[in-house]
């Protein structure tokens, strides 16, 4: 079974600085998708960024980018120019190709300090 | 994308009673998913609901405790039956729209059982 591990339960960063959240996963599959979701205190889960395993290029969405290391099964999220609104729980998630099930990590609570 | 409405947004219930949570999507979707998020924890998939067939439950979840209806392609309900304080959680529904491989989430139902 696939597992997703987020080793940082909590992190904090100063506003305007850069922070990296870690995620590792375990799978024997070659076709899969990886996601980072954000859950602010209001609890609506929002997709931040996604990565297809077959793509070597790291995904980027504005201030959010990933470092996808397929051989190491690592999928970290970098947030540049952190903003107060980035304060949230961040969940890394895995989805096997051909399936619609998501497997979530335990989450990292990120606090952006003014 | 998809707009997902969940009702109720929160409820406080007595032990031994049941609560039905509704999930409405603004477009037709094949699969709808129900998750449980216990306090301070990650999301755990309860079941997958396809229109016109029985829901598929994950290990540790049973139909008698969490009956699910899926009467059409835009609506589903999850019932939490014979509740105990251990059922206090946030319950979220989600859908995958089109071929995007992205799951969109409702705002969740925060359930407290006394």
Confidence class for position A83, pLDDT limits 50, 70, 90: very high
Chain B residues near residue A35 by CB distance under 8 angstroms: 102-103
In angstroms, the CA A109 to CA A10 distance is 5
Best of B41, B47, B105, B106 to disrupt the A interface (most A CBs within 10 Å) is: B105
In angstroms, the CA A77 to CA A91 distance is 10
pLDDT at A100: 82
Burial tier of A53 (Cβ tally within 10 Å: 0-12, 13-18, 19+): buried
Query: What would the pLDDT profile of A4-39 be if each residue is shown by its tens digit?
Result: 999 999 999 999 999 999 999 999 988 999 999 999
Query: What would the pLDDT profile of B81-110 be if each residue is shown by its tens digit?
Result: 999 999 999 999 999 877 777 899 999 999
pLDDT at A9: 95
Query: What would the pLDDT profile of A63-75 be if each residue is shown by its tens digit?
Result: 999 999 999 999 9
| pLDDT average, residue stretch B66-79 | 95
In angstroms, the CA A15 to CA B114 distance is 40
Taking an 8 Å cut-off on Cβ atoms, the answer to whether B42 and A91 are in contact is yes
pLDDT at B22: 98
pLDDT at B81: 97
Closest-CA distance of chain B to residue A72, Å: 23
In angstroms, the CA B94 to CA B76 distance is 10
Instruction: Name every residue whose Cβ is closer than 8 Å to that of residue A54 and which is 6 or more positions away in sequence.
Output: A31
Convert A5-40 into a string of H (helix), E (strand) and C (coil). ECCCCEEEEECCCCEEECCEEECCCCCEEEEEEEEC
CB A58 within 8 A of CB A68: yes
Which of A51, A55, A19 has the alpha carbon at shortest distance from A35?
A51
């Amino acid at each position: 079974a696939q597992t997703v591990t987020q080793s940082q339960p909590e992190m904090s960063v100063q506003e305007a600085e850069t922070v990296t959240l870690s995620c590792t996963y375990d799978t024997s599959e070659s076709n899969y998708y990886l996601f980072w979701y954000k859950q602010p205190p209001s609890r609506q889960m929002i997709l931040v960024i996604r990565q297809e395993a077959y793509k070597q290029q790291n995904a980027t969405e504005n201030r959010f980018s990933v470092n996808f290391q397929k051989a190491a099964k690592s999928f970290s999220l970098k947030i540049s120019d952190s903003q107060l609104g980035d304060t949230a729980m961040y969940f890394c998630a895995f989805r096997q190709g051909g399936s619609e099930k998501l497997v979530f990590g335990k989450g990292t609570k990120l606090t952006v300090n003014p | 994308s998809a707009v997902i409405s969940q009702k109720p947004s929160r409820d406080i219930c007595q032990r031994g009673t049941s609560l039905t949570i509704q999930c409405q999507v603004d477009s037709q979707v094949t699969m709808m998913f129900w998750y449980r998020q216990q306090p301070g924890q990650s999301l755990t998939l309860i079941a997958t609901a396809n229109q016109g067939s029985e829901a598929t439950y994950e290990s540790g979840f049973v139909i008698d405790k969490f009956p699910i209806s899926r009467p059409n392609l835009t609506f589903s309900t999850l019932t939490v039956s014979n509740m105990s304080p251990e059922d206090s959680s946030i319950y979220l529904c989600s859908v995958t729209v089109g071929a995007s491989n992205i799951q969109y989430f409702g705002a969740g139902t925060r359930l407290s059982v006394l």
